Amino acid sequence: MKKIYMAFIGLVLSAGVSFASEQNLQIFSVENKNGAISAKTIQKAFGDVGLKVDVNNNMNSIFSKRYGKVHHKKYNLAIFTNDKLLKKLMDKYPSIGVITPLTMSIYVDAKDNINISTLSLHGMSRITNIPLTNPDLIAYSKLVDVALHKALPNGKYLSVNHGASEALVTEFTTEFELEDGDTYEYAKESFKEEFEAEISPVGFLVPKSYVFEHDAYDFFDTYSIIRFNAIYPVSKNHPDAGAYAPFSVVIYKKKGDDTVHIAYPSIQNWIGDLDIKEDATIKTVRKTQDMIKNILSELTE
């Protein structure tokens, strides 16, 4: 494998748009004592309205094997997309990649309510800097709302508390220097291999990656990433963390531009949006942010 030589251009922490008075994530909930609603029926409901669920993992199975204990009666993390709306948003807003795929947690609480947490329209706009008035972003949010109501008939939205927000997105820019015979596609794949080789030994997994074809880009890929040692302690008191986990890393290059862009939603924003108060959990979240940021910093030097 040829080594990729890349010139480091910069690291940007973007404050984004603030919606302090609005909910950035939403929890949709309904009583489910008879167990008729499950992660599988929710996946089908989402698919029926055009939101493809690519991953729907039973986290309790994973947690019980790795940690010997689970926090909730049922707990799933799932990722989903709508390619048509994504490609419309990509026309003008490559930042849609930092929430591609969208994510959700599905969990049963102590009162046998089944809950789904996802990003709200405000949360989607806030992280991507796509205006709240953008019709395609509104359509994406409305599609999620339709799916939630189909999945949980008679469900309702719960109120959500938020703390202070921090830098919303961690961004890097770099260049791929091509050697004779190399292509940008080859350089991108080599970068992905190096990236996964760096994150895997420190506990990050890539349950799904996406390659989007678009006339405006030489490439536009996203990697869905999770770290069990972060989501396990966070989910104990904050099962709605699935609105943010797995998180997405986007890498793209526009045609006619030498710059390669890499970005992901900053992990420390879980602290404010999930209203995390536990010191040990905050420490774990910040460690996870630093780990992924440092790896990408090294790869783009």
**pTM reported for the whole predicted model:** 0.91
Integer CA distances (angstroms), 271 to 104, 129, 237, 284, in order = 17, 20, 12, 10
pLDDT higher than threshold 60 for residue 103: yes
Rounded mean pLDDT of 88-106? 98
The interaxial angle of helices 135-151 and 121-128, nearest 10 deg, is: 140
Q: How confident is the model at residue 102 (pLDDT cuts 50, 70, 90)?
A: very high
pLDDT at 144: 98
pLDDT at 6: 38
Residue at token pair 């919606």: 19
The interaxial angle of helices 39-48 and 135-151, nearest 10 deg, is: 140
pLDDT at 19: 36
Sign (positive/negative) of CA torsion 119, 121, 123, 124?
positive
3-state secondary structure of 161: coil
Half-sphere exposure of 202 (CA within 13 A, CB side): 15
Q: How far is Cα 129 from Cα 132, in angstroms, rounded to an integer?
A: 9
Residue at token pair 């930042």: 95
pLDDT at 239: 97
How does pLDDT run across 62-72, given as a tens digit for each residue? Answer: 999 999 999 99
How does pLDDT run across 188-242, given as a tens digit for each residue? Answer: 999 999 999 999 999 999 999 999 999 999 999 999 999 999 999 999 999 999 9
Q: How far is Cα 207 from Cα 246, in angstroms, rounded to an integer?
A: 9
pLDDT higher than threshold 90 for residue 8: no
Sign (positive/negative) of CA torsion 289, 173, 201, 74?
positive
How does pLDDT run across 255-274, given as a tens digit for each residue? Answer: 999 999 999 999 999 999 99
Q: How confident is the model at residue 166 (pLDDT cuts 50, 70, 90)?
A: confident
Compare 118 and 9 and report the one with higher pLDDT: 118
Q: Which helix (H) or strand (E) holds 144?
A: helix 135-151
Q: Which helix (H) or strand (E) holds 56?
A: strand 52-58
Please name the residues in contact with 242: beta carbons below 8 A apart, sequence gap of 6 or more.
76, 77, 78, 103, 104, 105, 106, 107, 117, 118, 235
Mean pLDDT estimate for the chain: 91
pLDDT higher than threshold 60 for residue 177: yes
CATH topology of domain 5-299: TATA-Binding Protein (3.30.310)
pLDDT at 269: 93
Tell me the range of 14-23, 73-82, 163-172 where mean pLDDT is highest. Answer: 73-82
Q: How confident is the model at residue 13 (pLDDT cuts 50, 70, 90)?
A: very low
Backbone angles phi, psi at 34, to 5 degrees: -85, -5
Q: How confident is the model at residue 5 (pLDDT cuts 50, 70, 90)?
A: very low
pLDDT above 70 coverage of the chain, percent: 92
